[in-house]
Chain A
Amino acid sequence: MADETIKPFRPLGNYDWPSTPVNRNIDRIKSLLKKRLFRSKNNGGIDLERLQPAEEHLLDKVAAPPANKPLIEELDFTLEDWISEENPKQPIKTLIFPPCDRENFLRSWAGEKEYPILELDDFERKISNAPDKISDLFDQDILVIPRLEDWFRRSETHLASVRLLLSALETPPQKIIIGCNSWAWQFLRKACEIDAVCIDPLTFQAFDTKRLGRWLESLSEGITDASLNFKSAKSGGDAFDFKPGSEQHNDYMSDLANKSLGIPWVAWNIWRASLQTDSDKEPPIKDATMSESAVETLWITELRDFALPNRHDQNALLVLQTLLIHNGLSRADIELTVPTSQYTNVIPSLIHSGMVDKIEDIYHCVPAAYPAIRDGLRSAGFPVDIL
């Protein structure tokens, strides 16, 4: 490999989870105890009451979207040989991504490469016009289906399109790249045996401390009008500080890698939510390394702990599960796919808890809350995704 920082996608099931649910629970308890027992200690940090969330324009400078930038290069590298091959053994490449990808990574990647995208509406229209000529759909060199989870609903009447697509994919004349969310993939394996058609799915490698630190640091490198410091609000330490000789970032980056499960868009959202500015606009720490030029210090607050949903909130868990499978649903679709939601007011309570948000009448799980939601569903016995 030319650049060792580029990590190619790997077969599904080989994801190196940065932490286990047990470790995360222990960390959660430790952090809670620390907060209770050592509330007054603030070793060199800043008074949290002086902090306010960084403004959007500043965030867009220091942590600019997209939340998946490193994956673009990695996917290019992964598919390089396959794309250049004339008649590959496997004409279908299946890419599995964790949920909460708000920016639709595969769609933007395909757009950048100018690959045609097969939408559900196009597919249904063409199929209804010429049901016997299903293979005509695939007359382009490479076709991309970015989000297979948009093609179905978990309902007995809404699986037909996926099944039709899978039957068409039995002998695809050209190369096809299919993206699917990891929760939807597990469901489709059961309901449609998708893994019999889309074999050997791939997923990206988990973002560990080092890789995450390098990426987040690079997001602010282009800023020229001011020097930027990222300091821990608690300790005053530099978030991107490498310990000499160890290449190990400080505790914050390690915590971020653990809590985000190594998923870039989850980490990116948590990172942005953690950045705060000093409302007094005074440099809070005497820092010998600070130059005369304009220095902006961004304070990093501790990561927010979401309350784990448990079995007592069964309706909430059912709604969260369906939102993960479908990446987002309207209220009508939630009622279609969850047996009891129409009897309860669970959706407002989920929004209130910060786990779900609503954008243009579509409810989504909040990316920063995804690790807590996944842990909660797993603990309650729900079938979870495999990466």
Chain B
Amino acid sequence: MQAAETQQKAAQLLNDFQDISFLKIALILGGSVFIIWLIRRMLPYLAKRGPSQLRLYILGAVPVLRLTIILSAILWIVPLIFNITVQNFFIIAGAASVAIGFAFKDYVSSLIAGVVAIFERPYGPGDWVEIDGDYGEVVSVGIRAIRLRTAADDVITVAHDRIWTNNISNSNTGAQTLMCVAHFYLEPDHDAAQMRKTLTDVGLTSAYLNYKKPCFVVVEQLEYGTHYQLKAYPFDLRDQFMFISDMTERGKVALARVGGQELSMAFNAAPRHGTLAAGN
């Protein structure tokens, strides 16, 4: 008697097997997977070869399109398999909750965080972010995790659920450029105005400089010397390390020419994102 009831409930929950078009489901799944695969190949290819101004927009479209395709496929397939009523919805949701609660909690947490990340946008493809001390370019935003490529060319996979608990430091937030800082530590006995002027000219004459953004020098007096920070923006964030190296290399020469004497020991704090300290 009980077995018959359960069978009846199951029959109500699922459509009749004869009515389920497995071929259609397979085609929807296959088609979705193929389109997502195509998008993940084509858009980064176009972004790499297209105009630099469009790169981040094209890359940013990948996760949005993928989410749209996945949701469309789910909404298409579910009615083909399940007999959707309010009662059945609660049965499915209850069963899913138990399964998720016991087995896939972290995984689903990452999936949900991934959806939130698409709308909240703490990071996007092409952004330079720092998560838990790892600084790198977001090379892909997957369903569960993102991949960062660091300056040392390491690829780090970071689950989306970090956004619940960690601070995400994004250096450009979708912009084409980001602030770069070159650090210089000098013996305190010098003409600071002259040093600032010299370093500003170093920044202004860099081949990588973005003309639309400011270029300036911040001076800080420390116990052991004077700390100069030359801050400027490259026209393309992919040039940030070349830009910092160029400013550092020419800055050292220029400071020496006007009588600046660099400290022989680096007292700099731990390197922050987007910066390379001279002497680090």
Contact = CB atoms under 8 A, between A and B. Distances in A.
Interface of A: 21, 154-157, 159, 186-187, 189-191, 310-311, 314, 318, 321-322, 337-340, 378-383
B204 A311 contact: no
Nearest to A310: B49
Given A156-B198, A156-B250, A191 B51 contact: no
A95 B232 CA distance: 30
Interface in B196-232: 198, 201-202, 204-212, 215
Interface in B130-167: none
Nearest to B202: A156
B254 interface: yes
A318 B234 CA distance: 13
Contacts, number: 62
Contact of B235 (A21, A189, A339, A383): A383
A310 B55 CA distance: 13
Interface of B: 49-53, 176, 198, 201-202, 204-212, 215, 235-236, 238-239, 242, 245-246, 249-250, 254, 257
Question: Max chain A CB contacts within 10 Å: which of B202, B211, B246?
Answer: B211
Contact of B210 (A318, A338, A383): A383
30 contacts: A21-B51, A154-B205, A154-B207, A156-B198, A157-B257, A159-B201, A187-B211, A189-B211, A190-B211, A191-B204, A310-B49, A311-B52, A311-B238, A314-B239, A322-B207, A337-B207, A338-B207, A339-B206, A339-B208, A339-B245, A339-B246, A378-B51, A379-B51, A379-B52, A381-B51, A381-B53, A381-B235, A383-B209, A383-B211, A383-B212
Contact of B207 (A189, A191, A318): A318
A339 B211 contact: no
Nearest to A311: B52
A291 B43 CA distance: 60
A310 B236 CA distance: 13
B94 to A, nearest CB: 53
A262 to B, nearest CB: 21
Contact of B201 (A156, A314, A337, A380): A156
A381 B204 contact: no
B236 A190 contact: no
B236 A381 contact: yes
A379 B51 CA distance: 4
A380 B205 CA distance: 19
Given A157-B257, A311-B238, 18 more contacts: A156-B201, A156-B250, A156-B254, A191-B204, A311-B52, A314-B239, A321-B207, A337-B205, A337-B207, A338-B207, A339-B242, A339-B245, A339-B246, A340-B242, A380-B52, A381-B51, A381-B176, A381-B236
A380 B242 CA distance: 15
A10 to B, nearest CB: 23
B246 A156 contact: no
**Chain A to chain B: the 6 pairs with minimum beta-carbon distance, closest first:** A381-B52, A156-B201, A381-B236, A190-B211, A191-B204, A383-B211
Nearest to B238: A311
Contacts of B52: 311, 379-381
A186 B53 contact: no
A340 B206 CA distance: 12
